[in-house]
């Protein structure tokens, strides 16, 4: 494949005991990877981070803020877990933070073509603020052929 898309899903990402090592194996291919929601959490876990249960889950519309310019996007979210920012090593950088509670809302690997967001960029009908992420993934796949 030209790239790997890790989709959303329900529940505790740490309980995905088969998916985390499978994604870990996929990382070795160095193929472009784009994760959303649960896929974001699974990618983070495969990269060595940990997750935690949110006191109040993010449901419905939420506002991730992109770094470093702090541009806010209106997105659809439905998750109860987040990546622990203190568990990230130096190979991964935070790209988005939730505007309300500053939880990690996006990641990217510093040298490999892996990135993810903790929301639904595909949400429709609804906000389209994050459509650019699909164009970004296509561009990364084309550059890595």
Is 37 a known active-site residue? Answer: yes
Of the candidates 93, 120, 128, 142, the residue annotated as catalytic is: 120
Three-class DSSP category at 27: helix
Determine the Cα–Cα distance for residues 53 and 67; give it in Å rounded to an integer. 24
* Active-site option among 37, 58, 73, 79: 37
CB-CB contact of 45 with 27 (8 Å): no
CA–CA separation, 3 and 116 (whole Å): 13
Give the side-chain half-sphere CA count within 13 A for 5.
12
Which strand (E) or helix (H) includes residue 109?
Answer: strand 104-109
Distance of CA 78 to the CA centre of its chain: 13
For residue 37, the 8-state DSSP code is T
Catalytic annotation, residues? 37, 120, 122
């Amino acid at each position: 494949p030209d790239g790997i898309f890790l989709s959303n899903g329900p529940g505790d990402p740490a309980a995905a005991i088969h998916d985390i090592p499978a994604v870990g194996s996929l990382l070795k291919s160095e193929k472009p990877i784009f994760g959303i929601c649960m896929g974001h959490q699974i990618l983070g876990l495969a990269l060595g981070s940990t997750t935690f249960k949110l006191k109040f889950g993010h449901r419905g519309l939420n506002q991730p803020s992109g770094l470093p310019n702090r541009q806010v996007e209106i997105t659809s979210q439905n998750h109860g877990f987040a990546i622990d920012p203190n568990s990230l090593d130096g190979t991964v950088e935070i790209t988005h933070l939730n505007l309300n509670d500053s939880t990690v809302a996006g990641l990217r690997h510093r040298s490999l073509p892996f990135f993810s967001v903790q929301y639904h960029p595909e949400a429709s009908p609804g906000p389209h603020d994050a459509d650019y992420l699909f164009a970004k993934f296509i561009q990364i796949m084309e550059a890595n052929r």
